[in-house]
Amino acid sequence: MNRRTFFTKLAVAAGLAATRWLPGIEHAQTAVAQDNSFPELEWRMVTSWPPLLGNLSFAAQLVAERIAEMTNGKFKITVYPAGELVPALEVMNHVSTGEVEMGHTAAYYYTQLSPANAFGCAIPFGLTAMQQNAWLYEHGGLQMLQAFYEDRFNLIQFPAGNTGVQMGGWFNKEITSLADLAGLRMRTVGLTGRVMAKLGVETVALGGGEIFQALVTGEIDAGEWVGPYDDQKLGLHKAARYYYYPGWWEPCTVTELQISLPAWQSLPQEYQIIVRAAAYEANLITLARYDAGNPAALQQLYDEADITLLAFPQEVLVAAETATFELFEEISASDADFAAILPEWVKFRDSVQAWHGVSELAYLNYSAWSLRTVES
C-alpha cells in the first residue's frame, strides 16, 4: 500500500469514527448546504472569560466558528467577553431567562442557585478529565444533567471545554500545616468555597480578570485559577510567591455551552446536530491545548519567576477530603437534585478510580521515577 492510499484510508476511518460519535452530522451539513430554506440566524454568546485567557475564550470562539462553518454562514454567533454584556459570574442567569440565546461558562459559578450544578463542572476530590468524559458521554451523566437543567433553569447545556487537572493556587505565605489556613481570605468558587470554610478559610468569589489586583492590594491572601498556562497570562506569579499543587478541588474543570431552552427548541434539527458537534469538538480540543501548553508554562515560571513550587501537606489533603464528603452528606439532606445525582456519581467515581489506580497511576508513577533517574 503506498503512502497516499494509506493516509486517504486513515482520513476516511477518522471521519467514520467522528460520525459514529456525532450521529447525523454528515447529513446535517449536507442538508444545510443544499437547501436554501434553512433560516439565517444571528445569536449572541456571553462568556465568563476575559480575552487574554486564550484557551477558555478559544473554546467559546471555536464553537461559534465551527457552527458558522458547518452551516455555510447561515447560523452566526457573536461572542462577548466577560463584562461586555453581562458580568463574568452571571452568564447562566441571563441565558436561563432568555435575555441572551447562548453562554459559555463554568457551571460551578452557580452553585448558589443549586449545588448540583457542580457535577457538570468540577467536584472536590472528583473525576479527572478522562474520567469526567467517560461519566458524561458513556455513563449517563450528561443525560441526567440535561434533564436537571431543563427542569430547573429552562436551558440545555453541552460540555464545551476542559482544563484538565488544575493547580492548587497562589498563596502569599507558606502552608506547612492545616493551622496555616485559618483566617486566610482566598479566591475560589463552587463547592470548594464551602469545603474551605470548614477548614477556616474565608472565600471570595471573583472572576479570572479580578484575581491579580485582589492579590496585589491584599483583598485576598490566596487565589486559584487554572494552571500554569492561564495563571501566567493573568500575571499571578507576580502577585504571590507560593504556588501549590494539586488542585484537589478541580481534578478537571468542564466549561459548558449553555443555551436557552426556547431558543434551542426553535432550531431546525440539523442546526441542533451541528451545535452538538461544535461543542464536542471544543471539549476535546481545549483539553489538548491545556495539556500541550501547561508543561512549558510551568517550566518557564519555575525558571524565570521568583516562586516556590510546593505540594499541599498531607494533613491538609486528608482534612479537605474529609470535609468534602461531610459537605456532600449535608447537601444531600437538603437538596433533592444533588441527592438524586450523587449516588450514581459516587458509584462511577469509585469504580473508575479503582481501575485507574491499577492502570494509569502505576504507569505514571513509573514514568516519573524513570525520568528522575535519567535526569540524575
Q: Look at residues 132, 163, 155 and name the one whose alpha carbon lies nearest to residue 59.
A: 163
Cell numbers at 127, concatenated: 473525576
Q: In whole angstroms, what is the distance from residue 8 CA to residue 94 CA?
A: 46
CA distance 22 to 70: 13
Rounded mean pLDDT, 180-204: 94
Q: What is the pLDDT of residue 21?
A: 55
Q: Residue 226: what residue type?
A: V
Average pLDDT over residues 269-276: 97
Give the per-residue pLDDT at 374.
65
Residue type (1 letter), 104: H
Band (pLDDT 50/70/90 cuts) for residue 190 is: confident
Cα–Cα distance between 9 and 12 in angstroms, integer?
Answer: 5
Q: What is the 3-state secondary structure (H, E, C) of 205-224?
A: CCCHHHHHHHHHHCCCCEEC
Contact 149, 156 (CB under 8 A): yes
What angle is formed at CA 186 by the lines to CA 181 and CA 190, rounded to 5 degrees? 110
Q: Report the pLDDT value the prediction gives residue 151, as an integer from 0 to 100.
A: 96
Q: Is the pLDDT of residue 358 over 80?
A: yes
Q: Where in the chain is the domain with CATH 3.40.190.10?
A: 169-251+307-369
Q: Assign domain 169-251+307-369 to a CATH class.
A: alpha beta
User: Is a pLDDT exceeding 50 seen at residue 17?
Assistant: no
Separation of alpha carbons 341 and 326, rounded Å: 16
Q: Which residue has the higher pLDDT, 215 or 50?
A: 215
Q: Contact, 149 vs 107, CB < 8 A?
A: no
Q: Is the dihedral of CA 87, 257, 253, 306 positive or negative?
A: negative
What is the per-residue burial (b if ≥16 Cβ within 10 Å, else e) of 62-73? Answer: bbbebbbebbee
Give the mean pLDDT of 250-272: 97
Model confidence at 112, in pLDDT bands (50, 70, 90)? very high
The reported pLDDT for the residue numbered 370 is 79
Structure confidence at residue 14 as a pLDDT band (50, 70, 90):
very low
Q: Averaged over 4-21, what is the pLDDT?
A: 40
Least confident range of 66-70, 155-159, 195-199, 300-304: 300-304
In DSSP notation, 108-138 reads GGGTTT-GGGGGGT--TT---HHHHHHHHHH
Classify the C-alpha dihedral 315-321-325-327 as positive or negative.
Answer: positive
Other residues' Cβ atoms within 10 Å of the Cβ of residue 103: 28
Q: What is the mean pLDDT of the chain?
A: 92
Taking only Cα atoms into account, the Rg of the chain, rounded to an integer number of angstroms, comes to: 21
Dihedrals phi, psi of 235, to nearest 5 degrees: 75, 25
Q: Where exactly does CATH 3.40.190.170 map onto the chain?
A: 23-165+252-291
For residue 375, what pLDDT is reported?
67
pLDDT band at 6 (very low <50, low <70, confident <90, very high): very low
The Cα-based distances of 10 to 16, 258, 333 in angstroms read: 10, 34, 52
Class of the domain covering 23-165+252-291: alpha beta
User: Mean pLDDT lowest for which of 1-15, 34-48, 261-275?
Assistant: 1-15
7 confidence band (pLDDT: 50, 70, 90): very low
Q: Is the pLDDT of residue 186 over 50?
A: yes
Q: Cα–Cα distance between 159 and 144 in angstroms, integer?
A: 13
Nearest to 240 by CA among 316, 175, 178, 293: 175
Q: Using alpha carbons, list the distances in angstroms from residue 359 to 164, 283, 363, 368.
A: 19, 24, 6, 15
CA distance readout (Å), 65 to 275, 282, 306 = 11, 11, 39
43/27: higher pLDDT: 43
**pLDDT category, 372, cuts 50, 70, 90?**
confident
335 dihedral zone (left: phi>0; alpha: psi -120 to 50; beta) = beta
pLDDT in tens, 273-308: 999 999 999 999 999 999 999 999 999 998 989 899
Question: What pLDDT digit, counting tens, does each position of 87-96 carry?
Answer: 999 999 999 9
Mean pLDDT across the stretch 322-332?
Answer: 97
Query: Residue 53: what pLDDT?
Result: 75
Exposed, middle or buried: residue 10 (CB in 10 Å: 0-12, 13-18, 19+)? exposed
